């Protein structure tokens, strides 16, 4: 952090006991990450040993019994005698983080542990290529292909339930019986394996 002898870090070194082989550091609080930006776990570490494996684990579940390894580090980077960076992209889930050392016979040092936005740029807004709620003239963009046994219809919800008992009684857009949606009646099955296609006649430029 400071690059001076005044700075602090976490130091893990085994006491003179053969029974202590595992050391762990775990976050107390659950991390629940949003999905709008990429979030990363970062930590600087140092060890003089090339062979000193440890890993970063994500713990999930109410009983904290579900764990998965997010990264495995073999030990010291042979090409450097300096601090090394661990940078892991985290999933948009709820979890705790564990740093687990399986062999405490060698010293290991951690510093500047953080969970923050990754260096990646903010994702670009989603581009909508086409949308239709079946409440306007966009309904004319769709046609049920006539050569197939099953035929689609764009109906008001109040009319749809008269044709198909299992149809929704309200639409999604307005949440009432006046709204429209596309319906493929299935109560009168024409035959197994037959098909019906709702064709969008508008060209999409991707």
Domain ranges in the chain are 10-117, 137-200
**pLDDT averaged over every residue in the chain:** 83
Q: How far apart are CA 25 and CA 11, in angstroms?
A: 11
**pTM to 2 decimals?**
0.49
Contact 109, 52 (CB under 8 A): no
pLDDT given at position 121? 57
Give φ, ψ of 57 to 5 degrees: -120, 150
Write down the pLDDT at residue 7.
67
Quick one: pLDDT at residue 5? 66
pLDDT in tens, 41-67: 999 988 888 888 889 999 988 778 888
16 pLDDT higher than 90:
no
Name the token pair of 146: 């006539």
For the CA atoms of 137, 198, 146, 150, the dihedral, rounded to the nearest 10 degrees, stands at -130
Rounded to whole angstroms, how far apart are CA atoms 197 and 15? 71
Q: Within a 10 A sphere around the Cβ of 125, how many other Cβ atoms?
A: 6
8: pLDDT strictly greater than 70: no
pLDDT at 157 over 80: yes
Pick the CATH number of 10-117 from 3.90.1570.10, 3.90.470.20, 2.60.120.10, 2.60.120.200: 2.60.120.200
What pLDDT does 203 receive? 87
């Amino acid at each position: 952090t400071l690059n001076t002898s005044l700075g602090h870090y976490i130091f893990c070194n085994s006491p003179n006991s053969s029974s202590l082989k595992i050391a762990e550091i775990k976050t107390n609080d659950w991390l629940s990450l949003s999905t709008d930006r990429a979030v990363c776990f970062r930590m600087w570490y140092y060890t003089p040993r090339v062979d000193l494996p440890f890993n970063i684990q994500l713990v999930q579940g109410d009983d904290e019994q579900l764990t998965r390894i997010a990264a495995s580090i073999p030990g010291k980077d042979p090409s450097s005698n300096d601090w090394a960076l661990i940078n892991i992209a985290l999933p948009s889930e709820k979890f705790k983080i564990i740093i687990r050392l399986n062999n405490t016979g060698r010293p290991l040092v951690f510093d500047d542990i953080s969970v923050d936005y990754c260096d990646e740029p903010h994702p670009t807004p989603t581009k909508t290529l086409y949308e239709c709620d079946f409440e306007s003239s966009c309904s004319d963009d769709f046609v049920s292909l006539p050569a197939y046994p099953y035929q689609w219809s764009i109906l008001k919800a109040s009319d749809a339930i008269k044709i198909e008992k299992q149809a929704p009684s309200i639409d999604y857009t307005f949440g009432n019986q006046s709204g429209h949606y596309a319906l493929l009646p299935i109560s009168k099955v024409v035959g197994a394996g037959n098909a019906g296609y709702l064709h969008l006649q508008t060209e999409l430029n991707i």
